[in-house]
Amino acid sequence: MISILAITLVLVGAAGCRSKSNSAATAQESATPANVDASRLINADQQPGNWMSYGRTYSEQRFSPLKQINDQNVGQLALAWYVDLDTRRGQEGTPIVVDGVMYFTTAWSKVFAVKAATGEKLWSYDPKVPPEWAVNACCDVVNRGVAVWEGKVFVGTLDGRLVALDAASGRPVWEILTIDAHFPYTITGAPRVVKGKVLIGNGGAEYGVRGYISAYDAASGKMVWRFYTIPGDPSQPYESPVLEKAAKTWTGPPRKLASGGTVWDSVSYDPDLDLVYFGVGNGTPWDRHARSPQGGDNLFLSSVVALKADTGEYVWHYQETPGDAWDFDSAESIVLADLTINQSPRKVLLHAPKNGFFYVLDRATGELISAKPYTAVSWATGIDLKTGRPNENPQARYEVGKGAPVAPGPPGGHSWHSMSFSPHTRLVYLPVQETGFLYKSDEHFQKKAIGYNVGIDFVAGGMPQQPEVKKAILGTIKGHLSAWDPIQQREIWRVDRQSPVNGGLLSTAGNLVFQGTAQGNLEAYRADNGQKLWSADAQSGIVAAPITYTANGEQYVAVLAGWGGVFPLAAGEAALSSGRAQNVSRLLAFKLNSKASLPSLPPFTPPQLNPPKSIATAATIHRGETLFQPLCSPCHGDVAVGGGVLPDLRYSGSLDNDQWFEIVLKGQLKQAGMVSFDKDLSHDDAAAIRAYVVFRANQSLPQPASAPK
């Protein structure tokens, strides 16, 4: 997996970062750029023209009080300016806007500062992530954004560094390594700053790392505290009493190796309670038999955890998927809101993790208030409000030789694509994914320290090729935008989406909801009833969330466009059939009555499949499939169908020559992120993988509908 075998280099285009604008307006830059402190962040609603942290406020509601653009005039919203990006990898970032300057990140953890009124470039910073580190990233070389504080801009890099930049110049002020670089940690999430401490977690739960969140002093980069989400090496003392308790929820022989639970996305903060909240990812491997053989809840996997902001001391947790076996991360957006429930005002925490249930928790205590499925769920019939535990469906547990079809599947009912809560409509706007998967234990599973290794038989879970079966399965993989009432726990309106994966959400006091789509549109809906009011062609699939801000008194809506992330890499035909064929990564900004336009796209000519004849034996092809599915498909797509971002190997020019081995075993394309797999694969293995890809290319020939559009 994480291989980039074919000869098309898509990592870095030649365009560079250039901005185009037809606006002569000047931004209202402040004397001290990114001059954000505790008071400004806590009182962010008093300056709605800025977007000063990832979710705009510490509550991460992604609701803006701005209403210059509203349900009456949004039809006049038009492109104001755009910036072309120097990559065609996925764009997941949320820009930050402070006093007329916008800071945003792109793939490979690069940071840019531009004028918020015009897109004019001020500076850029490239942390020079080694391309070969991409092999450690399950889900593309994406980055979700920066944090700002007292004149500094903070970014977490894919290879595990936290870098503080001078907001005026983009030059590094300090840089620290937040990980043990012997392990395949990655950072894709945005830092948050709370009380002068930069909070940052990491990813890698598919690769066997041990999850944690750390706090670093914003001024010096010195670590203030670290909270591990799971117990570590039992021969070492526990880092805290709560981990000693957590260890009792794990079974089997002592784990020498770490077992997941990464904190890779959501962090929110309640200044009154002084609590930091974050979501914890899945365990390694996914298969609990292989991770914790006699069962157990495996704390704090798949949980929401609350800590004291000053010390990182544990306060409470709520585990959403005890003993998770389905890759049900709980890392998804954590939104804080004040609601009246049963006539009582409640400080709540709203959460829609991958497992398909929408949870309302009391954020002071962690008490479960309510939970209902927001998408098709088969692993549990409901959540017991007395115990807070799921009523699990025994059929959802799988083992060697016994597969279990389960909804949601590994993409989850909702992933990192941010949801939004509007205090005006009291609705949550949620990008829902409708997915399922056939989970089955990998009978050849062996625990190893490094590398993607989740204990699942991905051959059993691969897309069947009988046309009717495939068509039926593809018909079930879709998504929708849901307007969800968290008090009544029911959907109020929805917009159906062709793809399960679309952009994150923004809601505004203008009675508007904005979302980008896999098909490449940015769309606006009435927040109260879901009526579609506006759409703009972004020329590229969107997975990031839009923001809104003002510059020179005018309201803008901005979004990063760029198809990528785990779904287009790994989901094969499901991604190819629901996404947009061309990927043009850009930052786009819109305002009322503007007149800019995008250049028209060059005509897209689908490549022609021209594979060599498939002459390998069935046994060799099968062996190739059993190697390809766990090792290559996470980047090059399920059953060797590329999803439109990384090379589709069926089109590779090295299927009939020895360059294949130069790439796979000797690292010829390591500068593009395709490292050598000589530690995992023999020459015969690499040949078997090639035989499988050749077989799949030939199998694809009579089905023109499966070729890229």
* Contact positions vs Ca ion (CB under 5 A): 282, 327, 329
178: exposed, middle or buried (Cβ count in 10 Å: 0-12, 13-18, 19+): buried
Does 327 participate in catalysis according to the annotation?
yes
Rounded CA separation 25/561 (Å)? 24
Rounded CA separation 171/113 (Å)? 12
The amino acid that residue 423 corresponds to is P
Q: Which residue number, 327 or 625, has a Cβ lying nearer to Ca ion?
A: 327
Pick the catalytic residue: 265, 270, 287, 327? 327
Q: Which residue number, 131 or 411, has a Cβ lying nearer to Ca ion?
A: 411
CA-based angle 51:192:135, to the nearest 5? 110
Is residue 332 helix, strand or coil?
A: coil
Answer yes or no: are the C-beta atoms of 529 and 570 closer than 8 Å: no
Q: Which residue number, 127 or 203, has a Cβ lying nearer to Ca ion?
A: 203
Q: Which two tokens stand for residue 65?
A: 């009080």
Answer yes or no: are the C-beta atoms of 104 and 119 closer than 8 Å: no
We find the least distance from the C-beta atom of residue 327 to Ca ion, in angstroms, to be: 5
Q: Which residue number, 142 or 193, has a Cβ lying nearer to Ca ion?
A: 142
Answer yes or no: are the C-beta atoms of 363 and 346 closer than 8 Å: no
Rounded CA separation 194/254 (Å)? 36
> Which residue do the tokens 């069926």 mark?
650
Q: Which of 12, 175, 93 is nearest to 559 (CA)?
A: 93
Q: Which residue number, 479 or 634, has a Cβ lying nearer to Ca ion?
A: 634
Q: Which residue number, 188 or 282, has a Cβ lying nearer to Ca ion?
A: 282
We find the least distance from the C-beta atom of residue 258 to Ca ion, in angstroms, to be: 14
Rounded CA separation 681/432 (Å)? 38
Answer yes or no: are the C-beta atoms of 544 and 516 closer than 8 Å: yes
Q: Which residue number, 212 or 216, has a Cβ lying nearer to Ca ion?
A: 212
Rounded CA separation 167/638 (Å)? 42
We find the least distance from the C-beta atom of residue 412 to Ca ion, in angstroms, to be: 8
Other beta carbons within 10 Å of 236: 8
Q: Which two tokens stand for residue 230?
A: 């799971």
Q: Which of 115, 99, 124 is nearest to 33 (CA)?
A: 99
Q: Which two tokens stand for residue 25?
A: 């307006």
Answer yes or no: are the C-beta atoms of 351 and 331 closer than 8 Å: no
Rounded CA separation 317/310 (Å)? 18
Phi then psi for 245, rounded to 5 degrees?
A: -70, -45
We find the least distance from the C-beta atom of residue 186 to Ca ion, in angstroms, to be: 12
Q: Which two tokens stand for residue 241?
A: 């009493």
Q: Which residue number, 230 or 598, has a Cβ lying nearer to Ca ion?
A: 230
- 300: cis peptide before it, omega within 30°? yes
Bridge-based pairing state of the strands 380-383 and 390-392 = antiparallel
We find the least distance from the C-beta atom of residue 454 to Ca ion, in angstroms, to be: 8
Q: Which residue number, 412 or 647, has a Cβ lying nearer to Ca ion?
A: 412
- 500: cis peptide before it, omega within 30°? no
We find the least distance from the C-beta atom of residue 565 to Ca ion, in angstroms, to be: 12
Q: Which residue number, 327 or 442, has a Cβ lying nearer to Ca ion?
A: 327
Q: Which two tokens stand for residue 283?
A: 């365990």
Q: Would residue 191 be called left, alpha or beta, if left means φ above 0 and alpha means ψ between -120 and 50 degrees?
A: beta
Q: Which two tokens stand for residue 377?
A: 């769920």
Catalytic residues, by residue number, are 327
